[in-house]
């Protein structure tokens, strides 16, 4: 530490560094360093100037543990005001998730499955995809995993709907403002690269584990990024000649967006929705750590209780749901592309 002590001394900061210190060793490391002083030449070792190392040379600089403790104290100090704002704003998400789960529990299974198959046929308009969907539900029912699968599907559909409801307008605004795009891209990069477990850390301090919005917010934050990015990209890729023609016809900005840009960008937007669905599904197991029901809870049970079969079968159910949702959304996307080319 002598190198850094000399640096602070040469800069005339010694009085500032020693302000408030008693002169005695502050930590066990300080005590050991004093005990073994002279046994090894510190000058021959260049230690990276981390916070702990700099603290040893200048006590005013906080240690790493002081930094993390300060961060924790700051979060706890703003927790109640943040919760008072976020609580009412996110309460509709809790109601939507709980309503969807209640629907799965209360309605007859055959009515739910029939309704979903009809929706698939209307969206994809392919008999092969519809038959495949029916087969997936039959397999899940055969292994007694139909209700958890429908719960998982309900959570994914609610979260995807909110991602589209919020993400598409944000993507449109980003396509309109390059400045907003520059500000939003670092946030989107952070949301996309942040480890999935980290999403849960601040949320479990803000909300009760029993509240559905806890896992709903985590899923939405993780899955909303593709919807925003691909909406922005799709509108920016609209042919400039087409926009000039729209201007020549005297269209307003709103008319251009609704009648020209949005329809032409729809294939990209649908690709973003497909990615959002897949990312929502990938968060199901993580969300089960904070009481999310469904197949993820069975996977978690298999891990916690070392029940290999339970975990593998539930994992197989998630794979089947992922394949089914991917095929249906891609078939719907192809149908939209064909309608635009026609």
pLDDT in tens, 283-310: 888 888 888 888 888 988 888 888 888 8
Q: What is the pLDDT at residue 58?
A: 81
Q: What is the pLDDT at residue 173?
A: 92
Task: Note whether 110 and 133 are same-domain residues.
Answer: yes
Higher pLDDT, 21 or 60: 60
Task: Note whether 222 and 295 are same-domain residues.
Answer: yes
Task: Note whether 109 and 20 are same-domain residues.
Answer: no
Report the domain count for the chain: 2
Q: Which DSSP symbol is given to 289?
A: G
Residue 191 CA to residue 181 CA, distance in Å, equals 15
Residue 204 CA to residue 75 CA, distance in Å, equals 12
| C-beta of residue 214 within 8 angstroms of C-beta of residue 290 | yes
Q: What is the pLDDT at residue 21?
A: 67
Among all chains, which residue has been given the structure tokens 């209780």? 305
C-alpha triplet 198, 202, 204: angle, nearest 5°: 100
Report helix, strand or coil for 142.
helix
Helix H or strand E encompassing 19: none
Q: What is the pLDDT at residue 229?
A: 92
Q: What is the pLDDT at residue 166?
A: 93
Confidence of residue 227 (pLDDT cuts 50, 70, 90): very high
Phi first, then psi, for residue 179 (nearest 5°) are -65, -45
Task: Note whether 148 and 204 are same-domain residues.
Answer: yes
Q: What is the pLDDT at residue 24?
A: 55
Q: Which DSSP symbol is given to 260?
A: I
Confidence of residue 132 (pLDDT cuts 50, 70, 90): very high
* Both structure tokens of 19: 């302000």
Task: Note whether 83 and 57 are same-domain residues.
Answer: no
Helices first, then strands: H and E counts in the chain: 17, 0
Confidence of residue 117 (pLDDT cuts 50, 70, 90): very high
Q: What is the pLDDT at residue 195?
A: 82
| Alpha-carbon dihedral 144, 147, 150, 156, rounded to 10 degrees | -110
Q: How many CB atoms lie within 10 A of CB 282?
A: 15
Residue 129 CA to residue 203 CA, distance in Å, equals 38
Higher pLDDT, 135 or 81: 135
Q: What is the mean pLDDT of the chain?
A: 84
Higher pLDDT, 334 or 172: 172
Phi first, then psi, for residue 293 (nearest 5°) are -80, 180
Task: Note whether 55 and 82 are same-domain residues.
Answer: no
The DSSP annotation for 262-311 comes to: HHHHHHHHHHHHHHHHHHHHHTHHHHGGGT--SHHHHHHHHHHTT-HHHH
Task: Note whether 311 and 167 are same-domain residues.
Answer: yes
User: pLDDT tens across 100-109, in order?
Assistant: 999 988 889 8
Judged by average pLDDT, the poorest of 44-48, 89-93, 330-334 is: 44-48
Q: Which residues contact 42 (CB under 8 A, 6 or more apart)?
A: 1, 2, 3
Q: How many CB atoms lie within 10 A of CB 245?
A: 12
User: Would the pLDDT of 340 be above 70?
Assistant: no
Q: Which DSSP symbol is given to 237?
A: T
Enclosing domain of residue 35: 1-61
Task: Note whether 214 and 110 are same-domain residues.
Answer: yes
Q: Is 342 exposed, middle or buried (0-12, 13-18, 19+ CB in 10 A)?
A: exposed
Task: Note whether 18 and 77 are same-domain residues.
Answer: no
Q: What percent of the chain has a predicted confidence (pLDDT) above 70?
A: 91
User: Would the pLDDT of 23 be above 80?
Assistant: no
Higher pLDDT, 175 or 333: 175
User: pLDDT tens across 238-275, in order?
Assistant: 888 888 888 888 888 888 888 888 888 888 888 888 88
What's 333's domain CATH number?
1.10.3720.10
Residue 98 CA to residue 89 CA, distance in Å, equals 16
Q: What percent of the chain has a predicted confidence (pLDDT) above 90?
A: 23
| C-beta of residue 234 within 8 angstroms of C-beta of residue 167 | no
Q: What is the pLDDT at residue 255?
A: 85
Q: Which of these three, 14, 35, 61, is where a domain ends?
A: 61
Task: Note whether 282 and 174 are same-domain residues.
Answer: yes
Task: Note whether 22 and 119 are same-domain residues.
Answer: no
Q: What is the pLDDT at residue 79?
A: 83
* Both structure tokens of 177: 């403002």
Q: Which of these three, 61, 85, 104, is where a domain ends?
A: 61
Q: Which of these three, 41, 61, 81, is where a domain ends?
A: 61
User: Would the pLDDT of 135 be above 90?
Assistant: yes
| C-beta of residue 130 within 8 angstroms of C-beta of residue 143 | no
Q: How far is CA 123 from CA 118, 158, 338, in A?
A: 9, 17, 14
Task: Note whether 30 and 170 are same-domain residues.
Answer: no
Rg of the chain, C-alpha, whole Å: 28
């Amino acid at each position: 530490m002598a190198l850094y002590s000399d640096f602070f001394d040469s800069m005339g900061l010694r009085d500032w560094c020693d302000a408030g210190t008693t002169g005695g060793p502050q930590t066990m490391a300080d005590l050991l360093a004093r005990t073994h002083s002279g046994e090894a030449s510190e000058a021959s070792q260049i230690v990276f100037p981390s916070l702990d190392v700099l603290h040893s040379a200048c006590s005013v600089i906080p240690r790493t543990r002081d930094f993390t403790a300060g961060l924790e104290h700051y979060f706890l100090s703003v927790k109640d005001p943040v919760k008072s704002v976020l609580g009412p704003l996110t309460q509709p998400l809790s109601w939507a998730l709980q309503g969807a789960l209640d629907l799965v529990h209360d309605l007859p299974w055959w009515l739910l499955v029939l309704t979903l198959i009809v929706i698939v046929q209307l969206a994809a308009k392919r008999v092969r995809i519809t038959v495949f969907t029916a087969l997936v539900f039959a397999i899940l029912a055969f292994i007694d995993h139909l209700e958890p699968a429908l719960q998982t599907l309900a959570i994914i559909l609610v979260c995807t709907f909110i991602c589209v409801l919020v993400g598409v307008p944000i993507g449109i605004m980003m396509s309109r403002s390059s400045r907003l795009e520059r500000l939003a891209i670092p946030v989107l990069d952070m949301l996309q690269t942040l480890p999935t477990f980290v999403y849960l850390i601040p949320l479990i301090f803000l909300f009760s584990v029993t509240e559905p919005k806890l896992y709903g917010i985590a899923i939405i934050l993780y899955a909303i990024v593709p919807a925003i990015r691909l909406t922005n990209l799709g509108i920016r890729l609209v042919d400039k000649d087409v926009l000039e023609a729209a201007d020549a016809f005297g269209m307003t900005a709103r008319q251009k967006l609704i009648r020209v840009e949005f329809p032409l960008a729809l294939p990209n937007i649908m690709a973003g929705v497909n990615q959002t669905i897949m990312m929502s599904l990938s968060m199901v197991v993580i969300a089960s750590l904070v009481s999310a029901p469904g197949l993820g809870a069975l996977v978690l049970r298999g891990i916690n209780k070392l029940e290999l079969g339970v975990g593998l079968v539930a994992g197989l159910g998630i794979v089947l749901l992922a394949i089914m949702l991917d095929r249906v959304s891609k078939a719907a996307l192809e149908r939209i592309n064909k309608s635009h080319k026609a």
